[in-house]
Amino acid sequence: MTPPAPVLVATRTDDATADVVIAELNRRRVPVVRLNPGDFPQSIGVAARLDGSGLGGHVRTTTRTAELDRVRSVYWRRPRPYAAPSGLEEQDARWSVEEARFGLGGLLASLPGAHYVNHPWRNRDAEYKPAQLAVAARCGFEVPPTLLTNNPAAARDFAREHGPVVYKPLRSTDYHDAQGRALTVWVDEVDPADLTAGIAQTMHQFQHRVPSVADLRVTAVGKKVFTVRIDGAPGPDWRRHYDSLTYTLINTPPELAKGVRAYLDTFGLVFGAFDFGLDAADRAWWYECNPNGQFAWFPEPITSHLVCAVADQLQYAGEHRDR
């Protein structure tokens, strides 16, 4: 008897969102192979064949094996970057990392018949903030006035015209202090006096600060859309104040759901975590969409709704199931 096809979960060890989804798949007795591509080649082995019949072979971790032509779905979460084996010279290490990324990465992105949540290349495309803003405008969302620049004078002009203004990083890039502790670059209001010559050193994103009375986190999973109203943030970035917030699952406004669907279709996404600011007139202002957003931090029963929706996508390989 052929064993059921597994779900492949590509992520790092410390991923609470993947953990709760895997627990639900285990409860449903859906086989799971969890691997971190960044562990290749130290603890991952691959033997892949390609010929006129397509892709075959396997990928093996220390505890599981997945046949490459029998993977049901792929949950592409947050794997760590590829790394070279210790002891290699710098040039050899760099070459090895690129071979691993294009070799193993290319295989995992090409599994025949697998349903991806999301495909890693679609995640990559959807991570670019300028592309997000352009697509959001085309999908009918309210987009706050935004400036991308390395010109200090342009930044000062923008602040005068559209202030108050916030600075928003273009990517969540690893950043550490002198002691190696991870630091976060938060969204924060900008003092115009700080718009100095340092802006010329790289690209910066400035945006009119929405006079929000609450925030919305809209999580789309396939055809299902869940909207959570977030109240209690004392500043422009609610992620700094988890303990001060309240979360309420609300009905998604039809026009918002329509825009979310159009946005996902444009980027070829199955999953997206959208953030909006809600003003006093109940207008939802676009902030961003994280194609790989976390959700395990929500209180129950919100997390359970999201977990079940993602598990449905993975178990049924994207086929619609009413629950």
Q: List the CATH number of the domain containing 238.
A: 3.30.470.20
**Where does a domain end: 186, 208, 230?**
208
Helix (H) / strand (E) element for 137: namely helix 129-138
Do 19 and 111 lie in a common domain?
Answer: yes
Burial of 14 (0-12, 13-18, 19+ CB in 10 A): exposed
Residue at 98 is within a domain: yes
Residues 253 and 283 reside in one and the same domain:
yes
pLDDT of 239 reads 84
Q: How many CB atoms lie within 10 A of CB 205?
A: 17
Do 65 and 90 belong to one domain?
A: yes
pLDDT band at 320 (very low <50, low <70, confident <90, very high): low
pLDDT of residue 242: 82
pLDDT for the residue numbered 321: 52
Q: For residue 298, is it within any domain?
A: no
173 and 102, same structural domain?
Answer: no
**Cross-strand pairs, 277:** 215, 285
In a domain, 315, yes or no: no
Whether residue 203 is found in the same domain as residue 241: no
Kindly report which listed range (117-126, 235-244, 249-258) carries the lowest average pLDDT score: 235-244
Residue 296, domain member (yes or no)? no
In eight-state DSSP terms, residue 176 is B
Beta-carbon neighbour count of residue 204 at 10 Å?
22
In a domain, 166, yes or no: yes
Q: What is the pLDDT of residue 323?
A: 46
Within-domain flag for 97? yes
In a domain, 271, yes or no: yes
Residues 216, 275: one domain? yes
The answer, yes or no, to whether residue 183 has pLDDT greater than 80, is: no
On whether both 204 and 230 belong to a single domain, the answer is: no
- Confidence (pLDDT) at 238: 84
> Does one domain contain both 241 and 286?
yes
The pLDDT value given to residue 186 = 84
Find the CATH number of the domain harbouring 41.
3.40.50
CA distances in angstroms from 237 to 42, 117, 214, 267, listed in the order given: 39, 27, 11, 26
Per-residue model confidence (pLDDT) at position 1: 65
Phi, psi of 280 (to 5 degrees): -65, -20
* Residue owning tokens 């953990």: 19
Domain count, the chain: 3
Q: How many CB atoms lie within 10 A of CB 223?
A: 12
Answer whether residue 322 shows pLDDT above 50.
no
What's the average model confidence in pLDDT over 154-171? 95
Edge-to-edge strands of the sheet including 65-67?
45-51, 54-60, 65-67
Examine the domain organization and report whether 170 and 241 are in the same domain. no
Mean pLDDT of 17-24: 98
Domain around 105: 7-118
Mean pLDDT (the chain) is 94
**pLDDT per residue over 31-68, tens digit each?**
999 999 999 999 999 999 999 999 999 999 999 999 99
Strands 32-35 and 7-10 come out as parallel
CATH number of the domain bearing residue 152: 3.30.1490
Work out the average pLDDT over 144-171.
Answer: 96
Residues 19 and 91 in one domain: yes
Residue 223 sits in the same domain as residue 199: no
281-319: pLDDT as tens digits:
999 999 999 999 999 999 999 999 999 999 999 999 867
Question: Do residue 20 and residue 109 come from a single domain?
Answer: yes
Q: What length is written for the chain?
A: 323
pLDDT tens string 71-92: 999 999 999 999 999 999 999 9
Whether 275 is in a domain gets the answer yes
